Structure 1
């Protein structure tokens, strides 16, 4: 069993980041923390448009496609909830604890200043484990 330190975010795959950003700002008082558009020469995980909002005490990430999808680490993903993200102290240890009980969609991978892994819940929902690297 893994004991996350905190529930950090939900990530959504949306067809129009601008439209979704306006919706969350207008209807649930979302505070835009960042909004970045992909440049024409961006490739891999950088070739995405995304926005991060603070809604209540959690974050909502809006992506036109997930960075791990753009990087070719997973197949094309449908619109809607991409995953829920939980912070853990050690992604490798958490993955080892879970490996016999769950199906990993993406094994522990260093992604910028994070180590992340994704596994599936009983209905196929994706759950992200996040470790902040120093």
Structure 2
């Protein structure tokens, strides 16, 4: 089949964690993700819906390497779009969640800030569209 006729769409992001339940709790508490499923007893995977993105958080084997410190090759971060980045950052600050990279005006139509989630996952908050 010709590649021009193929269609791709995002299905999920797959994360590994030493404690998938605790990691999932972070995404639920901080970003309002919704827990969809837990697999295994004890839990070996938690499935979340994070703003329409399915996130699998799987139990990492004991011998797996620690996450690389950004910047690095491979998946560098997860980007979460917000309508009002100032309100989002005020909410994070009120809950004691520090930023890894402060608010930056990348260009007139894009403002970003970064925080670190569980297991070395870097998370970007971004507001597109510009502000007066």
TM bracket (short chain): 0.3 to 0.5
What is the TM-score when the length of structure 2 is the normalising length?
0.43
What is the TM-score when the length of structure 1 is the normalising length?
0.42
Greater relative contact order: 1 or 2 (C-alpha under 8 angstroms, separation 6 or more)?
1
Question: Which of 1 and 2 has greater Rg?
Answer: 2
Q: Which has the higher strand share?
A: 1
